[in-house]
Structure 1
Amino acid sequence: MTTHFTRRLFGALAVVSTLALGATACGTSGGDADAESGPKDVKAALAKGGKVTVWAWEPTLKKVAEDFEKKYPKVDIELVNAGTGDKQYTALQNAISAGSGAPDVAQIEYYALGQFSIARSVEDLASYSATSLDRTFTPGPWSAVTKDKAVYALPMDSGPMALFYNKKVFDKHGVEVPTTWDEYVEAARTLRKKDPKIHITNDTGDAGATTSLIWQAGGRPYQSSGTQVAVDLADSGSKKYSETWQKLLDEKLVAPISSWSNEWYQGLADGSIATLSIGAWMPANFASGVAAASGDWRVAPLPQWTKGDKVSAENGGSSLAMPDGAKNKELAYAFMEYATTGVGATSRVAQGAFPATQADLDSKAFLEKPFPYFGGQQANAVFAESADNVGAGWEYLPYQVYANSVFNDTVGKAYVSSTSLADGLKAWQDKSVKYGKEQGFTVSE
């Protein structure tokens, strides 16, 4: 195996491999780990061998690639870090447009997949029998990679949301863990009154966090069918989010600290940032980046917009796709299926990835694994319940990468000026609509 990692990994992806989740105990998924039951041309390609170039920044793929090469000695997996996130997407789109230089496999986050699928820049994997994997993956990730009868990628992981809270801080000030967002606002007020140094959370404006909370609130601001797109960031879910979060901003209950900054890590460590509403991939970051607060933090279900509900959303997650122009398509698919199902998926979970496979998610060993960082809590049980309760029907824009790039110029103003969140969302909608029309989409509001 050849590995070319040219950039340092930051944030969640940088440390995802640091938290082992017990590989030997996890079950295998419903998918076939080596694609040998797939189309005959895939089996023939494995027997013949060749090289598969994979553009990805996710560190758990290194061991998966090594294991795949041991199973198929004639196959060489070349891992290349061509950049993370939008940096890779730009390079990938350029290579596809040029008709040369594209990899055989590319890591693409769920929110960005639409821009490649709408342009037919990635292969529909249905011809490789990928549709048979529908019950292998949990509903959220599977819906993110499928559209109608097409399968544009295979899920690598998922990010069902949960509420991480500093139990030590909550206990000290006699505050109950909030189960609704109204209770969350009240908890924020109480904590701030008890200790002016404490903020319920941090926020300087983040597109991914905003869309995830709108998703959980029942908002479905984006709808698309081919080149027909609808954008409505004033729907009921968007309003629930903006009205509640506006209270937190107006009353200065959130710390104006950027996530992943040194100040953020310090706030999590000393308790001045009391909660995070974020994806299930977060534990590894706590264990490595906030080690001083080990034992202080716990995990709870995400607060609900309506008391008694059990609704969650996804926050983050990536897939493996086959770009147009891939040279070794059959071998590429074989590796993709191996890396995302069966032993490949279990291997990645053991290295710290949060599973997108139902069998790994349901594994007794996974669900009952104690997390020393969280005081021995079986946190995976909370995450698994969240995964089962992700709201259906969510879509991203087929040009969400662009939309997210102008978030700070629109919604972000609500964090640094008198602009309201509702007005910021309207400005974000206006820019998204304008750009969509310029790109040839028929966009309605």
Structure 2
Amino acid sequence: MPQHSRRVLRGIGLLCALALGATACGGSDDGNSGDKKVGSADIKSALKKGGTVTVWAWEPTLKQVAADFEKKYPKVDIKLVNAGTNNDQYKALSNAISAKKGVPDVAQIEYYALGQYALTKQITDLKAYGAEKLADSYSPGPWNSVKSGDGGGVYGLPMDSGPMALFYNKKVFDKYKIAVPTTWDEYVEAARKLHKADPKAYITSDVGDAGLTTSLLWQAGSHPYKVNGTKVGIDFTDAGAKKYTDTWQKLIDDKLVSPVTGWTDDWYKGLGDGTIATLPTGAWMPANFASGVKGASGDWRVAPMPQWEKGATASSENGGSSLALPELGKNKELAYAFVEYANSGAGVGTRIKNGAFPATTKDLNSSSFQNTEFPYFGGQKANKIFAESAKNVPTDWQYLPFQVYANSIFNDTVGKAYVSSTKLTAGLKSWQDASAKYGTDQGFTVEK
């Protein structure tokens, strides 16, 4: 799921002073969480008894999943509510938790935002429901994103994933006899060749995006964030970060990236007319091409991500969400049953048929999934590339427990490298310092 709509949401997941007993902020009175183990018999009994499960989610494929679940379990009513996409929902969820009123039983939470809710114990550890048994069911990137850093808890079940690939305009590449880049050095050379041949054409668009930057750092082997409970480390000076800044700075200095903001009309126009020739992003993108860039059907193809070192195969994630159980929600057994059905059971197939990209290895590896032809991409079996990318996502990436805030200040820090003489390294240092200050102000111990 794209992460292009970011706002400053001070206090999301940080409604209590973190150093002063966060459990009081998100504690539940229903006794269904904590150390209590909930067996399959408890869940079956709950399904037989029935009840209402309120689900806050913006993902459209859940509508059919909810209908199918109700058909299978007639006494259960799934109340699906769109409380807004990502940040709008997080604000509403945090307000409900603070008021201890109107909290949903299930909430869609993106991977980068999940940690802050887990740390403050505002969402339920699903190990009590046996969720850890599903570990091998998911590709490594999404599963790592729903686990706590110490491996102690599972705070959601992966709903989808965004393993990265390089979408490229084959028509443009063929016209200018440009080879599809397999390394980022080759990508820079392709950018130069393209822009020289057509000054109106750019290899990609980028005006500064936290999601893209963190995905590229992840792929480069950088580990800028180290999180252990309320102790966090922030450092953008490791070797992986240097690979990224050295390469991306060339694109910025030589004005080889289009200054067009993503998800705007001009951006869709550029993808359609060939003036934006590639897009490194998550596997959820095909549906957006088909709906937003209809006129370029047949022009585009998918390739593996360029590598930072020749011969490597590393990838990373860009986007993706989980379904979690807010600690103040009711009907925990029913809520978990729905989450497991939607994200691990029959609901996964339903969502795939309606355009979702799975996080489940069984589906990623199935011949029917991998052999699906994409008419938009000239009949290419693009899922093979996406599935291979999912296998090659390093599992040691961590997000900050206040990543939502950190992302919201990205353009005030790193973004300056795109509009001034500020270098990416200086921008990342500014981002590091501002994020560290915020973390300290919120009660975290920020290690230098």
Q: Residue 279 of structure 2 aligns with which residue?
A: 276
Q: 1:231 aligns with which of 231, 234, 257?
A: 234
Q: Residue 399 of structure 1 aligns with which residue?
A: 402
Matched position secondary structure for 1:443: strand
Structure 1 unmatched ranges of 5 or more: 1-8, 14-36
Matched position secondary structure for 1:134: helix
Q: 1:421 aligns with which of 421, 424, 439?
A: 424
- Whether contact under 8 Å (1:221, 1:230) holds in the other structure is yes
**In structure 1, distance between residues paired with 2:236 and 2:90:** 25
Q: Residue 91 of structure 1 aligns with which residue?
A: 92
Q: Residue 63 of structure 2 aligns with which residue?
A: 62
**In structure 1, distance between residues paired with 2:378 and 2:300:** 8
Matched position secondary structure for 2:405: helix
**In structure 2, distance between residues paired with 1:82 and 1:365:** 34
**In structure 2, distance between residues paired with 1:78 and 1:11:** 25
**In structure 1, distance between residues paired with 2:88 and 2:289:** 26
Q: Residue 3 of structure 1 aligns with which residue?
A: none
**2:366 corresponds to 1:388:** no
Q: Residue 145 of structure 2 aligns with which residue?
A: 144
TM-score (ref. length: structure 2)? 0.91
Aligned residues: 414
TM-score (ref. length: structure 1)? 0.91
**2:243 corresponds to 1:240:** yes
Q: CA deviation at 1:237?
A: 1.3
Q: 2:370 aligns with which of 367, 371, 377?
A: 367
Q: Residue 109 of structure 1 aligns with which residue?
A: 110
**In structure 1, distance between residues paired with 2:88 and 2:410:** 17
**In structure 1, distance between residues paired with 2:196 and 2:160:** 39
**2:305 corresponds to 1:315:** no
Letter in 1 for 2:59: E
- Whether contact under 8 Å (1:12, 1:285) holds in the other structure is no
Q: CA deviation at 1:111?
A: 0.2
**2:393 corresponds to 1:378:** no
Q: 1:196 aligns with which of 196, 199, 210?
A: 199
Q: CA deviation at 1:39?
A: 2.7
Q: Residue 25 of structure 1 aligns with which residue?
A: none
Q: Deviations over 1:353-406 (max 9, x none)?
A: 101011110110110111111111100000000000011200000000010011
Q: Residue 17 of structure 1 aligns with which residue?
A: none
**In structure 2, distance between residues paired with 1:235 and 1:77:** 47
Q: CA deviation at 1:149?
A: 2.4
Matched position secondary structure for 1:150: coil
Q: CA deviation at 1:202?
A: 0.2
Q: Which moved more, 1:92-101 or 1:65-74?
A: 92-101
**2:290 corresponds to 1:287:** yes
Q: 1:339 aligns with which of 319, 342, 358?
A: 342
Structure 2 unmatched ranges of 5 or more: 6-37
Percent of pairs with identical residues: 66
**In structure 1, distance between residues paired with 2:396 and 2:188:** 28
Letter in 2 for 1:69: E
- Whether contact under 8 Å (1:11, 1:260) holds in the other structure is no
Matched position secondary structure for 2:165: strand
Q: CA deviation at 1:319?
A: 0.3
Q: CA deviation at 1:213?
A: 0.3
Matched position secondary structure for 1:135: helix
**In structure 2, distance between residues paired with 1:207 and 1:10:** 11
**In structure 1, distance between residues paired with 2:4 and 2:390:** 18
Q: Residue 446 of structure 2 aligns with which residue?
A: 443
Q: CA deviation at 1:90?
A: 1.3
Q: CA deviation at 1:10?
A: 8.6
Q: Residue 20 of structure 2 aligns with which residue?
A: none
**In structure 2, distance between residues paired with 1:169 and 1:161:** 21
Q: Residue 409 of structure 1 aligns with which residue?
A: 412
- Whether contact under 8 Å (1:411, 1:427) holds in the other structure is yes
Q: CA deviation at 1:42?
A: 1.1
